[in-house]
Structure 1
C-alpha cells in the first residue's frame, strides 16, 4: 500500500508521455502569508495558486496542526521544504502532488528467528513492533527484515509463532542491523491444539478464499495480540491503512472498498463485498456479499448474501440468502433462504425456506418450508410445510402440512395434514387429517386420531387407541331391527360409526355418526350416554330424511369381552318424504311414547334400543 501511489504514477506517466515537456508542479512559484493557520488550509492555498491538489495520508500530516509561513515567489518544492523539512518526499502526477514519508525517516531491523533447542531457522514466524503496528514474516530460513520508523527511539521487537513462547527483544534505533532471536517451544499440552490454522476465521473455507496464506499464518501467530485503532480503510485485506497488521486492529470505523480483514469492530464497518473480523463486532456491519465474525456480534449485521458469527449473536442479522451462528442467538435472524444456529435461541428466526437450531428454542422460528429444533422447543415454530422438534415441545408448532415432536408435547400442534408426538401429549393436537401420540393426556382433534394409550380426549371421525376402547355393537331399535356400530376411543370420549337396516316388507336403511362416554357405576354396570346423527333412506334419494338420537344405555358386563345393554332413546326427526315406495316403512314418525309432530316436517318421540357389545 505504501508504494501504491508510485505505481499509479508510473502508469500515468506511461499513458501521458507529453507531460515531460510540461512545467513541473513542484517548480511553480507561489506566495503565502499565513499566521497560525491549519496546515491543511495552507496546502489548499498552495494548490489553488498552482492549479493542482495535494494527496497524503492524514496519519502522517495532521490537517489541524497550526503553522505560520510567509514566502514570496518561492517554488512549491521550496515552500514544502520549509513546512516539512526533510521528512517527506514528493511525487507528481498531472493534477496532484503526492506527499510520502522520506526514506530517511525509516530504518530496518533484520536478522534470524531460530529454535532455541535445535538452532534451526523457523519459517513463518511473525516479527512485529506493537507501538508502530508493523510486522513481517520470516522466510523459509527464519530470516526477517522489518522496516521501522523514528530513528531516535529504541524499538521492542516481538516474535510470535504457534507452538512457541512469545519472545521480545529491545534493539537500539539507527542504521540497518542484524539480530538473532531464539524462541522456545511450548510444553506439549492438550490445549495446544486450541489455536491452529484451521480454527477461527482463518480456517473457514470462505475466508480462505480471500486471505493469503501469509495473512492466515499471521492471524494464527498473533492470535492473542490486538490493538484498538480509530479507523481502517482498505481496498482488500492487506491493502489498507494497517497493512499486514489489519487482522490485529480493532477499529471504531472501518471502510473497505472491496473487502476488509480486521481484528474486530467497535463501531461501524462497511464493505462493497465482504468484511472478515477475527474477534467481536460491536455496532453495525454492512457488506454487499458477506460478513464474518470470529467472536460475538452485538449489534446489526446486514449482508446481501451471507452472515456468519462464530460465537454468540446478540443483535440483528439480515441476509439475502443465509445467516449462520455457531453458538447461541439472542436476537433476530432474517434470511432470504435459511438460518442456522448451532446453540440455543432466545429470539426470532425468519427464513424464506428453513430454520435450524441445535439448542433449546425459547423464541420463534418462522419459515416458508421447514423449521428444525434439535433440542427442546419452548417457543413457537410456524412454517408453510413442516416443523420438527427432536426433543420436548413446550411451545407451539403451526404448519401447513405436518408437525413432529420426538418427545413429550406439553404445548400445541396445529397442522393442515398431520401431527405426530413420539411420546406423551398433555397439550393439544389439531389437524385436518391425522394425529398421533404415544399417550394422550390432552386433546386430539382430527379426522383420524391414533394413540397407544389415552387418558385425555380424542375428537375425530376415527379415534383409535391401541390400549383403549374398541367395541362392536349389534343392536335393535324402533327404527331398524338390525344395527351394527363400531366404537373407538377411550372411556372419556369415543366415536360411533353405525349402520342399520330394517329388514322385511317395511325396509329402511340408516347410517350415522356420533360420540359417547362411559360412566362406570360398578365393576359390571356402566352408564353410556351417546349422541348420534343419522341419515335415513326410505327408497327415494330425492328426499332428505334424517334424525338426531340420544341413547342412555345401561350396560351389564357378562364377561371380559361381552356385555348386554338396554337404553331409552329420544329422537328428533326431519322427514320431508310424505309417501314411500312399496316395501319401505311408511309409519315414521314413530308413534311411541311422547310422540309429537312439529312444523316443517319435524317430529320427535321417545324410543328404545337393546343389544350386545363385543370386545
Structure 2
C-alpha cells in the first residue's frame, strides 16, 4: 500500500515537472522561414510580427546585452526560432496570436530572503470607474491565479522565475488586459477593463424567442467536484492554445492549478478527477472527467464522463456518460449515456441511452433506449424503445408516434400505426382471438386460441409477426408467421406442443373498418413422441396428408393447410 502511495506521488510530481517544463502552445509551434543579417533584435521581432501575424509584448530592458547573430531557417517552429535569436535565457508564453517575452532569473538574481513576491492592485471599469469584482488575475508563466474581491482589489503571491511577469486580467463581458510587471519594483498594479461591444439583434415580432435553460443536473454534478473559484476562472478566461499534457489528482489539484477549466489539453490524466476546458487527443480518469467544452478524441473513465458540449470520437465509462450537446462517434457505458442532443454514431449502454434530438445511427441497450427527435435510426433494446419516428426498433416493447420502418417486439405501441382485432380459424384451432399492432410494414400479433369440437379440446397462446400489402382500395395481401404453444391437458408439462404457421391471405375490405381474409398456410408441429395423449390428439386433428418424422423422443409433423380471419381495423 505504501509503495502504491509513493508511486502515485512520484507520477504526480513527475507530471507536474514535465508539464511545466515542456508545455508549449500552438502559436510557438507554428513553422516559419526567416533570414536575418545584421538587424537589431527589435527590428527582427518587428519583421516577424508583420510577416507572420503575431504580436510581441516585452519590456525593452530585458533585451539589453542581446546581440542576435545572422540566421537562416526554413520551416522551423517559431519557439525554436526565437530561442535561436534571443538565446536560452528567455522564456516565451503565448495566448492566441500574442507572445509574451520574459527573461529567466538566475539564482544569483534573487536575494535569499526574497524567494517570492506579492503583487497587489485593483481592477475597475474604464468607462464608469467602478470596481470589478470576481475578475481573474493570473501569471501567464506559472498559471497561479486569484480573484478580485468585491472592491476590485486583489493580492497574488508568486515565486518569480523571470525578471518580468506577464500578468493577465480577464472578466466575462470585458476585454482582456496584459501587464508586464517587474517584481523588484513592488508597485501596485491597476487594470482598467473595457466592456466588449455586442451588437443587439433585432427580433421580428413574428419570430418566437427561444429561451434556454441550464441543465441543472449537470450543473449540480459539476458543483460537487469543482470549486467556485475554478468555475469563475473558466467563465472569465479562455486560452485558445492547446497544451500538450496535464496531470490532476483532483479537479482543484493539478499541473494547470486553478486555471484548468480554461485550457484544452492534448493528453490528460486525472488520477481521481479532473476539470478542463476540453480535450483534443486523449483523456483518462479514475472517478470523473469534466470538460466545459468539446471532447475531441478518446475519453475513458472508471465512473463518470461529463462534457458540457460535443463529443467527437470515442467515449467510455464504467457508470455514466453525460453530454451537453452532440455526439459524433461512439459512446459506451455500463450504465447509461444521457443528455446528448444529436447522435451521429453509436450509443451502447447496459441500462439506458437518451438522445434529446436526432439519432442518426444506432442505440443499443439491455434496458431502455429513448430518442426524442423527429429523426431516429435504429434502436435495439432488451426492454423498451421509444422514439417519435424511428426507422427500425427491436425490443420487448416498442413505442413511437409514427414509424416509417419496421418495429419488432412483443408489444408495439405506435400512436399513428396499424391496429386491428382478428377472429380467425384454421384446421388445428377453430377459434383465434388475436390483436395486431405496429405498422403495415411489420406488426406483431398476440392472442389466444382454442378448439372445442370433436371431443378434442385444446387451447393455445400465440405470438407472431405480419405484414400488409395494399393493392387497391379494397384488396390487399397479408403475410403472417404465427407461433403457438398448444395444450390439450389443461397444464404445461411434457404434453405441451409447439406449432409454427406461415400464411399468405388475400384481404377484402367489407366496410370502412372490416376486412375478410383467407388463404393457404404451411405448418409445422413439434411434440413429444412418447406421449400417448399427444399422439392421439395429432392423429385425430391433423390432416392425413401430413409429413411425419419421429427421431428419438420428439415428433415433427408438416402439412399444408388453410387460414381465414375477420379483421376489425381501428
- Is this a same-fold pair by TM over 0.5? yes
**Counterpart check, 1:471 vs 2:420:** yes
Partner of 2:560: 606
Once residues 157 and 240 of structure 2 are traced to their aligned partners in structure 1, the CA distance between those partners, rounded to angstroms, is 16
Higher relative contact order (CA 8 A, sep 6+): 2
SS in structure 2 of the partner of residue 491 of structure 1? coil
Question: Pick from 339, 348, 366: which aligns with 1:389?
Answer: 339
Partner of 2:500: 548
Asked whether the equivalents of residues 398 and 411 of structure 2 are also in contact (C-alpha less than 8 Å), the reply is yes
**Counterpart check, 1:515 vs 2:461:** no
* Deviation sequence 1:406-431 (CA, Å, 0-9, x none): 11111111112000000234421111
Once residues 310 and 110 of structure 2 are traced to their aligned partners in structure 1, the CA distance between those partners, rounded to angstroms, is 52
Question: Pick from 254, 273, 288: which aligns with 1:322?
Answer: 273
SS in structure 2 of the partner of residue 479 of structure 1? coil
SS in structure 1 of the partner of residue 156 of structure 2? helix
Alignment of 1:227-238 (within 5 A): none
- Structure 1 residue 161 displacement after superposition: 5.7
Change (3 A) 1:316 1:510: same
Partner of 2:156: 215
Change (3 A) 1:495 1:508: same
- Structure 1 residue 207 displacement after superposition: 5.7
The worse-fitting range, judged by mean Cα deviation, of 313-322 and 453-462 is: 313-322
Once residues 313 and 380 of structure 1 are traced to their aligned partners in structure 2, the CA distance between those partners, rounded to angstroms, is 21
SS in structure 1 of the partner of residue 502 of structure 2? strand
Rg larger for: 1
- Structure 1 residue 544 displacement after superposition: 4.1
**Counterpart check, 1:301 vs 2:246:** yes
Question: Pick from 341, 353, 356: which aligns with 2:306?
Answer: 356
Question: Pick from 315, 336, 339: which aligns with 2:286?
Answer: 336
Change (3 A) 1:295 1:427: closer
- Structure 1 residue 350 displacement after superposition: 1.7
Asked whether the equivalents of residues 270 and 289 of structure 2 are also in contact (C-alpha less than 8 Å), the reply is no
Partner of 2:198: none
- Structure 1 residue 482 displacement after superposition: 0.8
Asked whether the equivalents of residues 137 and 146 of structure 2 are also in contact (C-alpha less than 8 Å), the reply is no
Partner of 1:449: 398
Greater per-residue helix proportion: 2
Once residues 456 and 104 of structure 2 are traced to their aligned partners in structure 1, the CA distance between those partners, rounded to angstroms, is 110
SS in structure 2 of the partner of residue 411 of structure 1? strand
Change (3 A) 1:578 1:610: farther
* Deviation sequence 1:10-61 (CA, Å, 0-9, x none): xxxxxxxxxxxxxxxxxxxxxxxxxxxxxxxxxxxxxxxxxxxxxxxxxxxx
* Deviation sequence 1:468-520 (CA, Å, 0-9, x none): 11111111111111111111111111111131100142201122221111111
Change (3 A) 1:198 1:384: same
**Counterpart check, 1:462 vs 2:411:** yes
- Structure 1 residue 200 displacement after superposition: 5.1
Provide runs of 4+ in structure 1 moved above 3 Å: 130-134, 159-164, 185-189, 206-209, 216-223, 225-228, 242-245, 292-297, 577-582, 584-589
Once residues 340 and 137 of structure 2 are traced to their aligned partners in structure 1, the CA distance between those partners, rounded to angstroms, is 29
Change (3 A) 1:511 1:396: same
Question: Pick from 501, 523, 533: which aligns with 2:483?
Answer: 533
Q: Which runs of 5+ in 1 are unaligned?
A: 1-129, 135-146, 150-158, 165-184, 229-237, 248-275, 278-291
- Structure 1 residue 595 displacement after superposition: 2.4
Change (3 A) 1:580 1:599: closer
Change (3 A) 1:132 1:299: closer
Partner of 1:492: 441
Asked whether the equivalents of residues 501 and 508 of structure 1 are also in contact (C-alpha less than 8 Å), the reply is yes
Partner of 1:199: 136
SS in structure 1 of the partner of residue 262 of structure 2? coil
Change (3 A) 1:579 1:395: closer
Partner of 1:422: 372
Once residues 226 and 459 of structure 1 are traced to their aligned partners in structure 2, the CA distance between those partners, rounded to angstroms, is 68
Once residues 570 and 294 of structure 1 are traced to their aligned partners in structure 2, the CA distance between those partners, rounded to angstroms, is 71
Once residues 179 and 105 of structure 2 are traced to their aligned partners in structure 1, the CA distance between those partners, rounded to angstroms, is 11
TM-score by length of 2: 0.59
Partner of 1:564: 516
Aligned residues: CA RMSD: 4.0
- Structure 1 residue 438 displacement after superposition: 0.6
Change (3 A) 1:588 1:355: farther
Paired residue total = 380
Q: Which runs of 5+ in 2 are unaligned?
A: 1-101, 112-118, 159-164, 171-176, 190-228, 231-236
Asked whether the equivalents of residues 452 and 465 of structure 1 are also in contact (C-alpha less than 8 Å), the reply is yes
TM-score by length of 1: 0.55
Question: Pick from 294, 318, 323: which aligns with 1:373?
Answer: 323
SS in structure 1 of the partner of residue 264 of structure 2? coil
Once residues 424 and 103 of structure 2 are traced to their aligned partners in structure 1, the CA distance between those partners, rounded to angstroms, is 99
* Deviation sequence 1:444-476 (CA, Å, 0-9, x none): 111111111001121111112111111111111
- Structure 1 residue 224 displacement after superposition: 1.2
